[in-house]
Structure 1
Amino acid sequence: MAGADGITDFVYGVVDAPDQLQHPLIRRLHDDWLAATPPEGLPGHGFADPLRLSYLLGLLVVMDVVRPENAGDLRFRYRLVGTDVVARRRRDVTGDFMDQHFDPGVASTGPLVCGLAVEQRRPVYLTAMRHMFEKHYPLEYIVLPLVDAGGKIIDRLVAAQIYPPETPRLPYGSASV
């Protein structure tokens, strides 16, 4: 993928142990999610409270889980995309479906990662490489399931994306991926 911008080299799976998570903010979010998890269930929408997660505000992504009317795959709609994520990707995808993402890697792999979090009812981690201007930047993500008011159906996901500090921030609206 030399010369092209985008995200590649995805590796993901269910979080089995906290030491799988490299970045301290990702580990903290995971720990906070575990602490908010009731004995028989999962945290609800209130977990994504900006005051609770203020240490990650610009790095958070909240997605709605959209279940098909008939048989079909789950879809994931971006409900909120943090300002830092928008600045690094140079586009705001709030309101868009993940499977229609402008980055083909995200469009194809993202729904698999999110679907795993829903199916397993557990956190999922992901690592990848961000390619930009002939350089490569490691990324780390975590996706956490949240349940509806009834406490049973996963209808929302909260995720955090960690970019290394040296990853460029470019003007919003750039045509590059």
Structure 2
Amino acid sequence: MEGLTDGWMFVEDGTNRTYWHPDIARFHDYWQGITPSGHLPGRQHFDPLDIARIMPRVWMLDVVQPGPRFRYRMAGTMEVETLGMDPTGRWLDEVHDAFRTRPDIASRYLATVESGRATYRFGRVAFVHDREHRFVQNLILPFARDGAAVDLLMILSIMFHSDGVEVK
């Protein structure tokens, strides 16, 4: 599959978005558009109606300190469907063993919180999902109520079957 890396990266102003799914690009553009100058956007800047079409694929994690530890605040309907359950209110590391056992996964979430920068990944599914969903393209966006300390992560995940066909 074009653009498949299995690694993650920080999103910079000049990041090549050639292989980004259009909804990933829209999600990032929306986040940039609501970001106050010199600060991170907070949940108060976000209106789900602005991106209503892609909200079924969005999931949100509260960043709980000290730690940090991550708790599902919300999971869109497509995320719930691919997980086979609604994780709302549960800890990420309890829902997904891989978060505890694979440091490469946790490092991305921690780096997003610590740096306040968006991260992108296109690779094999790392968390347990529907067994037919083999690849994922996703974007993690940091939010901070006070404009500086990240307290919420919003993630958009696009799932793909083993043949590269998008899960709809």
Q: TM-score range by the shorter chain?
A: 0.7 to 0.9
Residue 29 of structure 1 corresponds to 27
One-letter amino acid of the counterpart of residue 141, structure 1: N
Give the whole-Å Cα distance in 1 for the aligned partners of 2:19 and 2:118. 11
CA contact (8 A) 1:33 1:47 kept: no
Which structure has the larger Rg?
1
Instruction: Specify the alignment match of 2:91 in structure 1.
Output: 97
1:113 maps to which residue? 108
In 2, Cα distance between equivalents of 1:44 and 1:18: 26
| CA-to-aligned-CA distance 1:25-76 (integer Å, 9 cap, x gap) | 00111011111111110111034422012121110101100011xxxx3111
Q: Root-mean-square deviation (CA), in Å?
A: 2.5
Question: How many residues were matched structurally?
Answer: 154
Match of 2:57 in 1: 59
Instruction: Check if 1:128 corresponds to 2:126.
Output: no
Which protein has the bigger strand share?
Answer: 1
CA contact (8 A) 2:56 2:77 kept: yes
Percent identity over the alignment is 29
- Which amino acid in the other structure matches residue 99 of structure 1? D
How many angstroms apart in 2 are the aligned matches of 1:45 and 1:143?
14
Tell me, yes or no, if the aligned pair for 2:82 and 2:130 is still in contact at 8 Å.
no
Unaligned runs of 5+ in 1: 1-8, 170-177
CA contact (8 A) 2:84 2:130 kept: no
Identify the residue that residue 11 of structure 1 maps to in structure 2: 7
